[in-house]
Amino acid sequence: MALLRLMHRWAAGKPHRLLALTVDHGLRPESSEEARQVGTWCAALGIEHRILHWKGDKPSANLQARAREARLTLLREACESADAGRLMLAHTLEDQAETFLLNLARGSGVDGLSAMAPVSREGLRDGLILRPLLSQRRSDLRASLRAIGQDWFEDPSNRDPRFDRVRLREAMPMLEKLGLSPSRLAATARNMSRAREALDSAAVTLGKRACLWSPMRVITLDPVPLRDAPEEIVLRVLRQVLCEIAGAAHPPSLEPLLRLRDWVAAPATNGLALHGCLIRRRADGRLAVLREAASCEGSVALRTSKSWDGFYALPPLAARFLGDCTIRALREDGYQQIVKFEDLDPPEPWTTAPHEARLAALSVWRGGKVLAVPQARKGDLVALLPPKTLLGAALRPNID
């Protein structure tokens, strides 16, 4: 509510449209009424309001983390639907300190201890996620609401000792006596964030030397520059390569990255499958990292989907002409169909790509038949989602 009132004041007299989003997780009987009351408050301010529902069965384990993931997914989808360029979240100084401590308890490295970024993408396709209240204490926000007579709701799960974050919150007064105040912890997170930026920059520099991008969703790695680089930078390059090819929002854990690093440096020729990617050693000693067809997203309706497999954008114009079609990975059954296309004149990226990369290509289907494989025809274009990583942004060409 503090963020809502802040944004309402900021937008006054400006040509910006505000849209307030409330996620009703459906975990408490009173949550629906609370969401409707927020809508009433928004209406009084002249702000459009939508309630987003977390549907389906709720997990019995790791509930808060799953709810957080579901909430962010719903918010992203709502932003894309509304063509919203900025998603504002109301995380506070205490949220930042708690996130730092939770990640510290998990043994996180620099990235995890950077906690939450004030500006990020985090899977938002055409915009930015902003957290303008990261330097503000909760007590100050409550005081500001009382001063203007604005009520708010307190989520009782924020006091439930079953959750790690709540237990940390209850221990915060004791930690503050030891000098570990929320302000000090948040400052450490900012310091870690600067270190993370430096490491990411070094990884992009190394990636430009070691990686070659192909529009067939293949990245070729030269192992020689990787062998001489610091381990942390190499791991970052490998992580970003896997995330870029997989179109994944979440990076792989450290253990598979270490296994891949060892495999890159070893003379073994057998391939690997990691994080939805296949890694193959070429005859010239370089490595090809490509998407695994079996790990691709399943079939989706073109009429209702805006993207596929976290990698390809589906333009609205395509849905207008091919609305009754579906999108899926080509796979072997589709490949056997297109090799019989009489007018197939594939461009060089298709003909020189590993066969497994072709099987993961986007294909358009109707009634069990392949209608089109854009990358297998000269002149056909594919629209790509924004790169997932800094390295991807440095390597990927603008194919639209």
Task: Find out whether 354 and 290 touch, Cβ atoms under 8 Å.
Answer: yes
Q: CB-based contacts of 208: which residues, under 8 Å, 6+ apart?
A: 394, 395
pLDDT for res 271: 84
263-276 core/surface letters (b: 16 or more CB in 10 A; e: else): bbeeeeeeebebbb
The rounded distance, in Å, linking the Cα atoms of 217 and 242 is 11
The closest alpha carbon to 96, from 62, 120, 131, belongs to 131
Per-residue pLDDT of the chain (400 residues; tens, 9 = 90+): 999 999 999 999 898 899 999 999 998 899 999 999 999 999 999 999 999 999 988 887 888 888 888 999 899 889 988 989 899 999 999 999 999 999 998 888 899 899 899 998 876 767 899 999 999 999 999 999 999 999 999 988 878 787 888 888 888 889 889 999 999 999 999 999 999 999 999 999 999 999 999 989 999 999 999 988 999 999 999 999 999 999 877 888 888 899 899 888 876 667 889 999 999 998 888 999 999 999 999 999 888 787 899 898 887 666 666 778 899 999 999 999 988 776 677 888 898 999 999 999 999 999 899 988 988 887 666 788 878 888 998 998 765 5
pLDDT for res 30: 93
pTM for this prediction? 0.83
The rounded distance, in Å, linking the Cα atoms of 191 and 197 is 10
Cα dist from 184 to 120, 188, 190, 250, 297, whole Å = 22, 6, 10, 28, 43
Task: Find out whether 337 and 369 touch, Cβ atoms under 8 Å.
Answer: yes
β-strand pairing of 86-88 with 128-130: parallel
pLDDT for res 345: 77
Helix axes 182-210, 231-246, angle to 10 degrees: 80
Query: Can you read off the two tokens belonging to residue 348?
Result: 């060089």
Task: Find out whether 95 and 155 touch, Cβ atoms under 8 Å.
Answer: no
pLDDT for res 342: 61
The rounded distance, in Å, linking the Cα atoms of 333 and 344 is 17
Tell whether the torsion through CA atoms of 69, 116, 82 and 326 is positive or negative.
negative
The closest alpha carbon to 259, from 229, 240, 238, belongs to 238
Query: Can you read off the two tokens belonging to residue 150?
Result: 């604005």
The rounded distance, in Å, linking the Cα atoms of 22 and 50 is 6
Instruction: Quote the strand ranges of the chain, DSSP E.
Output: 19-24, 48-53, 86-88, 119-120, 128-130, 211-214, 218-221, 272-274, 277-281, 287-291, 300-301, 307-308, 312-313, 326-329, 362-366, 369-372, 383-384
